[in-house]
A = this chain, B = another copy of it.
Amino acid sequence: MPASPFPPDATLADVGEFAFIAALDEVFEQGEQVLVGPGDDAAVLRVRTGHVVVSTDLMVEGRHFRRDWAGAADVGARAAAQNLSDVNAMGGTAHSLTIGLAAPADLPASWALDFARGFAEECAKVGASVVGGDMARSETLVIAVTVLGACTVAPVLRSGAEPGDVVALAGRQGWAAGGLAVLGRGFRSPRALVEAYRRPEPPYGAGRVAADAGATAMIDVSDGLLADARHVAVASGVSIDVRRDAFEVAEPLHAVGSALGADPIQFILGGGDDHPLLACFPSAGDVPEGWQVIGSVGPADPRTGPGVTVDGGEYEGPTGWTHF
């Protein structure tokens, strides 16, 4: 990271909103779609596709991140990643984002700047620009991101899965949940899992590949693999069965499972911080490279309705995250 232009101990209140925002000029490069960038009442973006994909996500300190568990740049990268991933899950690519930063007056200005730098780094992975935002003083640190993007083919919704489809996953799954479990118990290793939690690596581009390959339904895994599979099942009016043996449990997950006395498969089935994509395809032959079959779609259970099973039966472990 480059040096901070602010004194080492300076807070946001010391620096002031306008000086802080001025320092962002060199952090946020503007793409060719940006007709009017940050600094006016609104940004103006060129849209050549005839549509825009838009999504908003919140991150709250103490609930979605902790400053002692991840550096500012990591938090910034994660805030960007979870939004870029939402566009990925529609089969599209993000081009522009806005950031709302509600922050305590004593937040170090260098933390906020490193946050912005990490955010910009993640956006650069897909060529997206930060085109605007807002700052406000708040006791609780809250980050609100809105992402705009575009699809090249029709967007892939949650609601298109059909009985007979196969279910596939793109991207690493369970590593971030393992890292979170480790951090929650005061450990810092295995390093690979902690890093996976701090800097998820969503499979950018895999959504577009899936859309091109004829995916019938798709979702970003952010609440938890089974919880998000359930969102697809309910939206599509189907049942989804996930097979445990479809997942190779990586060595560090085995290590954490042993250390914590937990079945490591629960990080995979319940975790939601890696932001892989889950999609359905008409047949195994349609599943593109980079995607791995993990289950199948059947008709909704006539008694219990749409839902998710594991190896044909009910799953007893945690399936994901509750927001309230």
Chain A residues with a Cβ under 8 A of chain B: 12-13, 15-17, 20, 35-36, 39-60, 62-64, 86-87, 89-90, 92, 96, 98-102, 105, 131-140, 142, 144, 146-149, 151, 155, 157-159, 218-220, 235, 322-324
Contact = CB atoms under 8 A, between A and B. Distances in A.
A161 to B, nearest CB: 13
Contact of A40 (B49, B58, B144, B158): B158
A41 to B, nearest CB: 4
B324 A12 contact: yes
Indicate how many identical chains form the complex. 2
25 contacts: A35-B51, A36-B157, A40-B155, A40-B235, A41-B220, A42-B147, A43-B55, A44-B53, A44-B155, A45-B51, A45-B54, A46-B50, A46-B51, A47-B49, A47-B52, A48-B50, A52-B52, A52-B148, A56-B132, A62-B139, A134-B144, A135-B323, A135-B324, A136-B323, A142-B144
Contacts of A51: 35, 44-47
B102 A60 contact: yes
Main SS class of interface, A: strand
Contacts of A131: 54
A273 to B, nearest CB: 15
Contacts of A39: 158, 235
Given A15-B324, A42-B89, A57-B134, 19 more contacts: A41-B55, A41-B220, A42-B92, A43-B53, A45-B54, A46-B50, A47-B52, A52-B52, A54-B131, A58-B100, A58-B134, A58-B135, A58-B144, A60-B137, A63-B136, A98-B146, A105-B324, A137-B323, A138-B142
B324 A40 contact: no
Contacts of A45: 51-54
